[in-house]
Structure 1
Amino acid sequence: MIDKKVIERLVDEWLADKDYFLVDIEISTDDKIVVEIDHADGVWIEDCVELSKYIEDHLSRDDEDFELEVGSAGLGQPFKVPRQYVNFVGKEVEVLGADGKKVRGLLKSVDGNDFVVTTKEKVKVEGKKRAVLQDVDHLFQMDKVKYTKYLISFK
């Protein structure tokens, strides 16, 4: 079986002088290698091909037969690494909290493991007869939510 650390080292070497970052590496028991990368401005197919060739050039098919797939993390998929949160600040996201509640709103900020999502909610204000629509901040920890993902909008 191909060692995940070997693939990770090869990907890190290729990423060294680029703005791309590694999101995930999966290796199945039958040696199918799936590498996911991301970039603040999106992933270009030419770069996926270049990374794929780089990995293949540094592995020997004489030693082990493998299948290799290199691609982007995918819009609408749950975030896997903190840098994805940073890339989507100012965008609409959906968070499934540890309590099972979904929150949809604007990813306002990221600070270490913490992130804030702002939603529009009706809030009862003292002195007003009706609830008023206001921005409400919700604080989350990346390691305590079930998922966070970008909400694709076609507006």
Structure 2
Amino acid sequence: MSSDPHGYELPLRLLFGFRSLIDDLHAELAKQGHPDVRPMHGFVFQAIGPSGTTAVELGRTLGVSKQAAGKTIDALERLGYVHRQRDPDDGRRMLVRLTDRGLDCLAKSARIFDRLRTGWAETLGAERLRALEEDLRKVTSPESARLDLPGWFAGH
């Protein structure tokens, strides 16, 4: 009998590691003035990017409908993380852009992720963590680094 774990344990452990990091991130973000940010919002902020985007493009990037993207934009606008403005190149289009509050959240997230990684390095050992990261790069393709996880999880 093999001492290897069952195959289904690998994706679960990867998911649990992801969940642990994201839960720790959001607990710290709440302490630093962003209590209303949810895991989905990180994908949205990344999809909006520095140039802004439209609701249609946001939905496409996230793998959700334009309506779902619009509801998310509405919620983030109420919370002060995004704002809408006319596209200066095409006045018919409305761009969604991050506000200073949204940019602050992204900057704090980056610093918190660095601290969380340091904590993992202390627990696992710096060399083992670097090896884990390198091994994950070997088994994941660049094409898998997309922001459509919200739609992918929902089956869209």
Report the TM-score when normalising by structure 2.
0.24
Q: Which has the higher strand share?
A: 1
Name the structure, 1 or 2, with higher relative contact order (CA <8 Å, separation 6+). 2
Report the TM-score when normalising by structure 1.
0.24
Q: Which has the higher helix share?
A: 2
Based on CA coordinates, which of the two structures has the bigger radius of gyration?
1
